[in-house]
Amino acid sequence: MSKELSNEDREIILNSIRDIPDFPKKGIIFKDITTLLNNPKAFKTLMNHLEDRYKEYNLDYIAGIDARGFIFGSILADRLGIGFVPVRKKGKLPYTTVAQKYSLEYGFDEVEIHIDAFRGEKGARVLLIDDLIATGGTAKAGVELINQVEANCVECCFIAELTFLNGKDGIDSPVYSVLKF
């Protein structure tokens, strides 16, 4: 059921991601996925892999984290013929929401989903997706939101993981990262 990326496809995707040194501050090497998004071969390779991996999971919804999780999540949801749910930054959703705070290196932030995000389906099977997992705060908050509305986060998927930050530690769902740095 859990399909891994082939070495050839990994290279195609990896070679499409650009490193930006000293962004957003000195000493950080930023993984820029805009070059993956504008590379049709690499993007299709990635989306084909995700579709192949998750088509047997019997998912009901994909939840994408604001904002790049929206890109991957909505396309994957369409390919799988299921619903997409945005996990948004506080104050961006128009209906009644539930919220979850998470810590940042300089304070706190908050994400929300609608209280009826999964149409009231208790136990709905949800995949949480985003472009990158670093410290894991947003992902942990996303899983907690899914649980708060009585759905089931069956897995968290990230295009890239910065393993040295141990961001997946403490996430109360299995984690799959396409690429690890």
Residues annotated as part of the active site: 68, 105
Interacting residues of 88 by C-beta distance below 8 A, sequence separation 6+: 66, 111, 112, 113
- Tell me how far apart the alpha carbons of residues 105 and 114 are, in angstroms, rounded to a whole number: 27
- The DSSP 8-state label assigned to residue 172 in this structure reads S
- Tell me how far apart the alpha carbons of residues 105 and 7 are, in angstroms, rounded to a whole number: 35
Assign 176 to helix, strand or coil: strand
Q: How far is CA 26 from CA 23, 65, 136, in A?
A: 6, 26, 22
CB 95 within 8 A of CB 80: no
User: Strand pairing partners for 175?
Assistant: 156
CB 102 within 8 A of CB 129: no
Backbone angles phi, psi at 44, to 5 degrees: -65, -40
